[in-house]
């Protein structure tokens, strides 16, 4: 009774439940297929990363004497279902399928149909690489008026025991050191880059394949330097802990010209496809704190992202899909300007965030939330176009993580499920957290003149445009008070300027 064990491109973990449960006669399937490679126009680096990491993972499985079927892209399989069908036909001794649950609702529907399609038993196992499963999350969410991350996070700290003292109280005397993560960066702050890896033979093959078959996708296939094995990813993470983490604690939200990574680990790229293990990462960071190598704001700030934010986001996704994807509270429907795909804009902050994205399939969370996300929110860009953009261009993006972060957190399209108020900010915030404005065509101190900063102009217009929906939000009262304190003539000038900018949005 041999089974087909299907391993997806973001399931490249030795501890995957489907691998743990496999028997000796079972056959593993990894497949590079058209549908997964093109449900959005993925950045070339994202495809290179996954195809190369899948090929390396298959190698390791083979070396451990497992039977592995690897279907590469040039074999032309259209979908995972067609790959599975092929294997079942070629190997009649296969009498069942086993797979660990996937990370996207779209694909879940396909997996759920396999039992009917193939007329064999299909075991879909829990993905216990995550710390909180759907049942635990639903229990936590049940009966709560608001699903705030902070309370979920405290439960996760208690559940994991991370950064707790012997009385189960938070080390450092408080749960959250968020305020100590937002220092303004000095202009001469020197970044410490994440570890880079030279492509080996397998990766070089994949780079050629992607350059040929995905020529029109965003990004270039040339400068790929990410880890593609678990061993490399662990090296990269150890480098982060010893060389970057201390400064990451202080400057999590900082942005500087031409410094795409600053002190960020970029390990979401590896964690989200399975090359790193969340428990191992958290233990490394906790140990660095206990050995006094990093301060509490660094250790807590990092662990919060993993066991707090990341698990919370996943919980929200599975709790609220598929309805969540249809939400558009602010009726945002303006087309995405072309510079989201190339970064040719006079707005320096947008140019930086987008060009980093196009070069590396990466930009850090504040660039995503407070630059490209904030701009999309203020300008009322189409929610589906924006969420598809994030899903396509980031190497760490799968819908479970991308959708709530974009639709909920950045665009407030879920009417406050995730965030208690929209993350709308004017140029002043960007000026405080970066040195971009000094290098910009627009004037960050201006809101109505010829070269007024578009973030200022659109910020006020956003408030005015959405007052009916946001005016009663308790956390927006100060913003609306400031708006109403403006003289009618000034309000009109701001709105006229916004109209002008919105008409020529593509040319800003
Ligand atoms: C993102 C991606 C890409 C580009 N290609 C593949 C692929 O060819 N084969 C595969 O198994 N997975 C791929 N993936 C990742 C899947 O899309 C991912 O598993 C689902 O989105 C669920 O999270
Ligand atoms: Fe961005 Fe405005 Fe600053 Fe220019 S002036 S970098 S558009 S915030």
So what's the pLDDT on residue 265?
A: 83
What are 297's two structure tokens? 């704001």
Which of 355, 379, 383 has the alpha carbon at shortest distance from 454? 379
| Mutation probe of ligand 2 site: the residue of 371, 453, 507 with most atoms within 8 A of C-beta | 453
Cα distance between residue 331 and residue 329, in whole Å: 6
At 260-277, the pLDDT tens digits run 888 888 999 999 999 999
Q: Is the CB of 442 under 6 A from ligand 2?
A: yes
So what's the pLDDT on residue 253?
A: 79
Q: Is the CB of 339 under 6 A from ligand 2?
A: no
Same fold, 134-320 and 338-507: no
So what's the pLDDT on residue 343?
A: 95
Cα distance between residue 285 and residue 282, in whole Å: 5
The 3-state secondary structure of 119-162, one letter per residue: CCCEEEECCCCCCCCHHHHHHHHCCCCCCCHHHHHHHHHHHHCC
pLDDT-derived band of residue 252, with 50, 70 and 90 as boundaries?
confident
So what's the pLDDT on residue 259?
A: 85
So what's the pLDDT on residue 65?
A: 93
Q: Is the CB of 430 under 6 A from ligand 2?
A: yes
94 has pLDDT over 80: yes
Closest C-alpha to ligand 1, atom 4: 37
Cα distance between residue 152 and residue 256, in whole Å: 32
What are 39's two structure tokens? 């449900």
Distance 374 CA to ligand 2 centre (A): 12
Closest C-alpha to ligand 1, atom 9: 32
Average pLDDT for residues 155-178, to the nearest whole number?
A: 92
Q: Is the CB of 16 under 6 A from ligand 1?
A: no
So what's the pLDDT on residue 196?
A: 94
Which of 384, 373, 320 has the alpha carbon at shortest distance from 350? 373
Cα distance between residue 22 and residue 11, in whole Å: 15
So what's the pLDDT on residue 291?
A: 95
DSSP code, position 293: S
Atom of ligand 1 nearest to the CA of 33: 8
SS3 71: strand
So what's the pLDDT on residue 354?
A: 97
* 2-6 and 122-125 beta bridge pairing: unpaired
Domain ranges of the chain: 2-125, 134-320, 338-507
CA distances from 15 to 41, 100, 127, 241 (A): 30, 11, 10, 23
Average pLDDT for residues 458-486, to the nearest whole number?
A: 96
CA distances from 407 to 215, 373, 428, 471 (A): 29, 9, 24, 20
Q: Is the CB of 459 under 6 A from ligand 2?
A: no
Which of 49, 59, 57 has the alpha carbon at shortest distance from 209? 49
Q: Is the CB of 16 under 6 A from ligand 2?
A: no
Distance 452 CA to ligand 2 centre (A): 9
Cα distance between residue 186 and residue 6, in whole Å: 49
Which of 257, 248, 254 has the alpha carbon at shortest distance from 194? 248
Cα distance between residue 457 and residue 435, in whole Å: 20
CATH node for 2-125: 3.40.50.620
179 has pLDDT over 80: no
User: What average pLDDT does the structure give for the chain?
Assistant: 95
So what's the pLDDT on residue 264?
A: 86
DSSP code, position 278: H
Burial per residue of 153-167, b for 16 or more beta-carbon CB atoms within 10 angstroms, e otherwise? beebbeebebbeeee
A 10 A CB-CB count for 396 gives 19
Closest C-alpha to ligand 2, atom 1: 349
Atom of ligand 2 nearest to the CA of 431: 3
Beta partners for 443? 452
Q: Is the CB of 455 under 6 A from ligand 2?
A: yes
Closest C-alpha to ligand 1, atom 3: 37
CA of residue 68 relative to chain centroid, distance: 30
Atom of ligand 2 nearest to the CA of 348: 6
So what's the pLDDT on residue 366?
A: 92
Distance 465 CA to ligand 2 centre (A): 21
- Environment class of residue 7 by beta-carbon count within 10 Å: exposed (0-12), middle (13-18) or buried (19+)? buried
Closest C-alpha to ligand 2, atom 5: 444
At the fourth CATH level, the homologous superfamily of domain 338-507 is: DNA Cyclobutane Dipyrimidine Photolyase, subunit A, domain 3 (1.10.579.10)
134-320 sits in which CATH class? Answer: mainly alpha
Smallest-distance ligand from the CA of 82: 1
152 has pLDDT over 90: yes
CA distances from 226 to 190, 199, 270 (A): 22, 8, 9
Cα distance between residue 321 and residue 417, in whole Å: 13
So what's the pLDDT on residue 507?
A: 96
| Mutation probe of ligand 1 site: the residue of 6, 7, 18, 37 with most atoms within 8 A of C-beta | 37
pLDDT-derived band of residue 244, with 50, 70 and 90 as boundaries?
confident
491 has pLDDT over 90: yes
249 has pLDDT over 80: no
SS3 227: coil
189 has pLDDT over 90: no
Distance 456 CA to ligand 2 centre (A): 9
């Amino acid at each position: 009774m041999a089974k087909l064990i299907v391993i997806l491109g973001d399931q490249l973990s030795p501890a995957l439940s489907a691998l743990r449960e496999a028997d000796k006669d079972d056959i593993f399937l990894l497949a590079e297929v058209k549908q997964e490679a093109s449900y959005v126009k993925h950045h070339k680096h994202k495809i290179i990363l996954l195809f190369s990491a899948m090929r390396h993972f298959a190698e390791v499985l083979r070396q451990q004497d497992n039977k592995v079927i690897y279907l590469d892209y040039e074999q032309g399989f259209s979908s995972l279902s067609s790959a599975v069908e092929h294997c079942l036909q070629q190997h009649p001794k296969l009498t069942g399928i086993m797979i660990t649950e996937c990370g996207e609702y779209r694909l879940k529907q396909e997996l759920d149909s396999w039992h009917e399609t193939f007329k064999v038993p299909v075991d879909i196992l829990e993905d216990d690489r995550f710390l909180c499963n759907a049942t635990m999350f639903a229990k936590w969410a049940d009966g709560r008026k608001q699903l705030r991350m902070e309370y979920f996070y405290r439960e996760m700290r208690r559940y994991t025991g991370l950064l707790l003292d012997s009385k189960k109280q938070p080390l450092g005397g408080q749960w959250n050191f968020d305020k100590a993560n937002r220092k303004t960066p000095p202009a001469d702050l020197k970044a410490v880059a994440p570890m880079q890896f030279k492509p080996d033979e397998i990766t070089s093959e994949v780079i050629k394949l992607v350059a040929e078959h995905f020529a029109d996708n965003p990004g270039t296939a040339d400068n790929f330097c990410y880890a593609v094995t678990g061993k490399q990813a662990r090296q990269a993470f150890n480098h982060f802990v010893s060389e970057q983490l201390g400064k990451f604690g202080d400057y999590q939200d900082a942005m500087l010209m031409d410094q795409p990574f600053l002190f960020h680990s970029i390990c979401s790229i590896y964690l989200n496809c399975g090359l790193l293990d969340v428990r191992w990462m958290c233990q490394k960071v906790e140990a660095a704190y206990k050995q006094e190598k990093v301060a509490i704001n660094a250790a807590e700030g990092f662990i919060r992202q993993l066991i707090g934010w990341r698990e919370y986001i996943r919980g929200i996704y599975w709790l609220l899909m598929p309805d969540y994807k249809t939400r558009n509270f602010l009726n945002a429907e303006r087309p995405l300007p072309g510079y989201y795909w190339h970064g040719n804009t006079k707005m320096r902050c947008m140019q930086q965030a987008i060009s980093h994205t196009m070069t590396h399939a990466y930009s850090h969370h504040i660039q995503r939330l407070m630059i490209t996300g904030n701009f999309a929110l203020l300008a009322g860009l189409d929610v589906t176009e924006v969420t598809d953009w994030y899903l396509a261009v980031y190497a760490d993006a799968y819908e479970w993580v991308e959708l709530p972060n974009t639709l909920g957190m950045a665009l407030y399209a879920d009417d406050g499920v995730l965030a208690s108020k929209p993350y709308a900010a004017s140029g002043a915030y960007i000026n405080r957290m970066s040195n971009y404005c000094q290098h910009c065509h627009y004037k960050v101190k201006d809101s109505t003149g010829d070269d007024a900063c578009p973030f200022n102009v659109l910020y006020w217009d956003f408030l005015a445009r959405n007052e009916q929906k946001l005016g009663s939000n308790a956390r927006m009262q100060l913003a609306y008070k400031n708006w109403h304190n403006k003289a009618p003539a000034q309000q009109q000038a701001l709105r006229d300027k916004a109209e002008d900018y919105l008409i020529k949005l593509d040319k800003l």
